[in-house]
Structure 1
């Protein structure tokens, strides 16, 4: 099992939305590095921090589990979709998505708090914060859970 951080703008899709849906596809990733991570490394059963970005309260808001590995993002072929990509070929799709299931909300662990924690100084979020899909080490995972006041074994 691996650990990840998936960024989302809560005005578009939030941890509350995921809880209401139960399971959802994680579509709309249009960065090649993030896509490659999702396609090549995100696996069934991996744990995911849901991270709210571009909002008033930025930070880790909850946890999800990967329930389906990479498959073509069908939005890339829909001209009505904001994720439409006219250069993508159905025979060799450019963009993929995974499915995630809601696991739990966390008390928000803010980006400010994460950056202030010396144990998280090497975290991708701290050093390359724009990447929408990013790996999280096991130690970072447990550190953030501790910051949220959550017992690691329950996650």
Structure 2
């Protein structure tokens, strides 16, 4: 695009950052993200931050992800915290997982996925009592894990 003289807009940046996150090209994502402001004068929005957090989290760069969240010029939402919770679960970081779960609990207390990820993180770490507390919290607010069904 740039070689063709076409200026990327925020949607293009989101698409490119998403592709980088899913393919593990964290260094490329970081260059693109940094170029948004410096080269193109575009301030990143929540979606672009979420893409970066997702890329860092998928790559196990949880500290980088948390630093980025902490440096955001606005309050992070569930789109930002969710990938970090999943990254903490994937890489077994119970402490970070609990911190992120608490943030998500304040934003979306009825999202069963967050409870399930956190309970599984505790279970995988052998913290059975903590996992049961999270499950009890989920049931305490009237949520249940919905069984999956197929029309096939």
Q: Same fold (TM over 0.5)?
A: no
TM-score by length of 2: 0.23
Bigger share in strand: 1
TM-score by length of 1: 0.23
Relative contact order (C-alpha < 8 Å, sep 6+): which is higher?
1
Highest CA radius of gyration, 1 or 2?
2
Bigger share in helix: 2
